[in-house]
Structure 1
């Protein structure tokens, strides 16, 4: 093969600007202590230590976060960005000695270095999610302590990253609806500091749908500010009782988690239930300025969800509509108000063909996590094969910019 042919093969499939809708940071030590009240620290404070079982892991108060023992090291190393597939392949081949852990770099810890990384990758803007805290959220099961812990963590996040760093990095503070009064205070606080989007756990709150009218005081604040609400993959702890009926556990090690829990307790079911609930509760008729985003839940579930929602709307046409009958097809409401960050392994050509457009799809590198791609541009090489240049540019750049209210 000639050198020229090799160069053509290695050329990226997409060379334009990028909006990265799924990136993360790693916390500094102060994240867990700087603002945390003493009484909350005793019961729900986050710490890292070696337990009696010999594992080095994260603890929420006295409780071990099992998933954390799969990837934490006392020396501070983390899984190498974008190397999960290589790691799994090596394990399958019996190369148990392979070590794909690396020291944290400055761009994983603070915004100035991250912007330099974004510049090198031609990433014009990005959404930033939490680090190790994502595995601890489901352990914050007492609202009296959850709010002080989350508010303290959000305050550190603002100090470290800001919620809007020059329109280049949009960080997502964590907000929960467990108490409407506290949630309203929480939301006003982060909006006052410039937050454009928030991260919320999936599922119901207070035994009700998130879009239930009892929660409307919270959503009125979000609507006035045009807040984007993100449902990022995490432990959907509301599934805990359902999994128990099947003899399955949650809050377990991901390495030892069963395929059943992956499929029904941690994968697409929580996000489908959460997003469809918003639509069937006629949420966007009341709050049209709120946008929803599914991040790191993939996108292959979307076409079948849209078909089923449209079908069920017809079946229930004369049934009970607690917030009023929908004025349009659920599928069209979805594509107007909801965006989805795809996995690089998703067949986006098939997804776009089934849905009819690519206007709701976003790319995400998951940097610096191991599960994503080593750098954002590689997403197009894997996910956008067969798509038109126009749709590829939408997914890699334009849709994300518009989602955040920026001009492409």
Structure 2
């Protein structure tokens, strides 16, 4: 498939090699992140605790892109497992590891440009939340590896998203400014409460205003990509504890109660705690969180505004529609999402090359085939292209 305009994909991924977290990690933290042998298989260990978050953290072999599409479309009458859907794994392609080969693949796919997110790095913050210094050091080290290998803007085609962690707002500002100085057009912030020495709190509270002022000064896009947000603990209150969030072994109960919950709460916190009121130039894109949470959140915001309008500077539904963009999953009710937030706030995202994404990214256009060519172009291209333009506050 070829479009007569440049397609901008809001959700592509890289697969990290084993030195991604350790190459720039300060010597005093060398033992905090290790790859270890467990019965002949390589696993990652964080603070001496082996993680099963990603079963194969070296990514030497991976599931084929789009292998789980029918599962996620709810087409699984035989009750197959994800492993059965996977079939035979493939060798990790060079295009999943470096930008030169990735651009060639984008050309083959008919995609002009893409945001690029990490895969394994999404486990770091939750497993380090008891050590703020380690968290900041590890995230900073990963960002420097990303700059080495991918840059933060590869020929205006690939836009890797360095991570900003928020426990120490001062250090978050320093990292943000370094990212922008090195060409970043977007940064990634985990949709979760921010851990701290006095407990966790909302990133929308005034104590983070200096950080959000810096975001406004740079004009950079903030993305909230799905991650380990720590919500497995709530499911464990019902089903009993387990050591960590296992995204590929969710179970029915955890799937039902946790789907969309972290991003629902994060966007609610941003709006209800006045982040956009105090920082009117901040733009946020919700990536790989789906969109089924949007309508319930807008309904709750509307009800809250009707009961206590004094708590808001304006109708919070309008705040959402002005500041927040959403990249829905291909299997969801995209026409309904457009009705709720408007065509200008919906982003095409393929999740390539993950197995739960689309094997052919431009297949996403089928999900907006009911819209006019002009609207299709907005979703597939113009909306993200506009967000990637740095717009510093006046």
What is the RMSD of the two structures over their aligned residues, measured on CA atoms?
Answer: 2.6
Residue 389, structure 1, aligned to residue 378, structure 2: no
Is contact 1:335–1:359 with CA below 8 Å preserved after alignment? Answer: no
Equivalent of 1:50, from 11, 14, 37?
A: 37
Measure, in 1, the Cα distance between the counterparts of 2:85 and 2:297: 42
User: Does the C-alpha gap of structure 1 residues 75 and 148 become closer, same or farther in structure 2, counting only changes over 3 Å?
Assistant: closer
The counterpart of 1:400, out of the listed 374, 378, 384, is: 384
Task: Name the CA shift for 1:91/1:135 in 2 (closer, same or farther; >3 Å).
Answer: farther
Is 1:332 aligned to residue 318 of structure 2?
Answer: yes
Q: Distance in 2 between matches of 1:93 and 1:84?
A: 10
Q: Which residue does 1:4 correspond to in 2?
A: none
- The answer for the alignment partner of 1:202 in structure 2 is 191
Question: Matches of 2:28 and 2:123 in 1, distance apart?
Answer: 22
- Which has the larger Rg? 1
CA distance in 2, matches of 1:33, 1:98: 30
SS of the aligned residue for 1:20 comes to strand
C-alpha contact 1:90 1:98 (8 A) present in aligned 2: no
Residue 300 of structure 1: aligned partner:
292
Q: Distance in 1 between matches of 2:128 and 2:172?
A: 15
8 A Cα contact 1:248 1:261, kept in partner: no
CA 1:139/1:74 → structure 2, altered by over 3 Å: closer, same or farther? closer
SS at match of 1:170: strand
1 CA distance for matches of 2:79 and 2:248?
Answer: 14
Evaluate the alpha carbon distance shift between residue 33 and residue 255 of structure 1 in structure 2; reply closer, same or farther with a 3 A threshold.
closer
Cα shift readout 1:338-367 (whole Å, capped 9, x = no counterpart): 1111111112123223x1621111011111
Q: Which runs of 5+ in 1 are unaligned?
A: 1-11
Deviation of residue 317 (structure 1)?
A: 2.1
CA shift for structure 1 position 388: 2.8
Please report how far the alpha carbon of residue 217 of structure 1 lies from its aligned counterpart in structure 2 after TM superposition. 1.2
Matches within 5 A, 1:24-39: 24-39=13-28
Q: Secondary structure at the match of 1:134?
A: helix
Q: Cα–Cα, structure 1 residues 93 and 186, in superposed 2: closer, same or farther, change >3 Å?
A: closer
Instruction: Please give the per-residue CA displacement for 1:350-390, whole angstroms capped at 9, x wherever unaligned.
Output: 3223x162111101111111111112111112x22423333
Counterpart of 1:348 in structure 2 is 334
Q: Are the equivalent residues in 1 in contact too, given 2:66–2:358 (CA < 8 A)?
A: yes
8 Å CA contact 2:13–2:352 kept in 1: the answer is: yes
Q: Using a 3 Å threshold, how does the CA distance of structure 1 residues 314 and 19 change in structure 2: closer, same or farther?
A: same
Please report the TM-score for the alignment, with normalisation by the length of structure 2: 0.88
| Contact 1:41/1:61 (<8 A) preserved | no
Partner Cα distance (1:144, 1:191) in 2? 22
Match among 265, 276, 288 for residue 284 of structure 1: 276
Q: Distance in 1 between matches of 2:77 and 2:26?
A: 44
Q: How does 1:128-207 map to 2 (within 5 A)?
A: 128-141=116-129, 142-205=131-194, 206=196, 207=200
Q: Following superposition of structure 1 onto structure 2, how do residues 209-228 of structure 1 map, counting pairs within 5 Å?
A: 209-228=202-221
Q: Deviations over 1:252-278 (max 9, x none)?
A: 43343232322333x211101101211
User: For residues 29-108 of structure 1, what are the structure 2 equivalents within 5 Å?
Assistant: 29-42=18-31, 44-47=32-35, 49-51=36-38, 56-69=42-55, 72=56, 76-85=60-69, 92=79, 99-108=87-96
**Paired positions, count:** 381
Distance 2:257 2:241 in 1: 12
Q: What is the CA–CA distance in structure 2 between the aligned matches of 1:293 and 1:403, rounded to whole Å? A: 9
Asked if the contact 1:90/1:96 (under 8 Å) is kept, the reply is no
Per-residue displacement from partner, 1:263-319 (whole Å, max 9, x unpaired)? Answer: 333x2111011012111222223222221111111112212321221221121224x
| Aligned twin of 1:3 | none
**What do residues 101-151 of structure 1 show as CA deviations (whole Å, max 9, x unaligned)?**
111112111111111222223322210100222233321221121111111
Counterpart-to-counterpart distance in 2, 1:67 and 1:293: 25
What is the rounded CA distance, in whole Å, between the counterparts of 1:279 and 1:93 in structure 2? Answer: 40
Match of 1:376 in 2: 361
Partner residue, 1:5:
none
SS across alignment from 1:342? coil
Cα deviation for residue 169 of structure 1 reads 1.2
CA deviation map 1:36-93 (0-9, x unaligned): 1222121x2142x3325x6543222311222222xx1878111111111368959846
Question: Partner of 1:7 in structure 2?
Answer: none
**SS of the residue aligned with 2:20?**
helix
The match for 2:249 is 256
Are 1:365 and 2:350 matched, yes or no?
yes
Residue 222 of structure 2 is aligned with which of 219, 222, 229?
Answer: 229
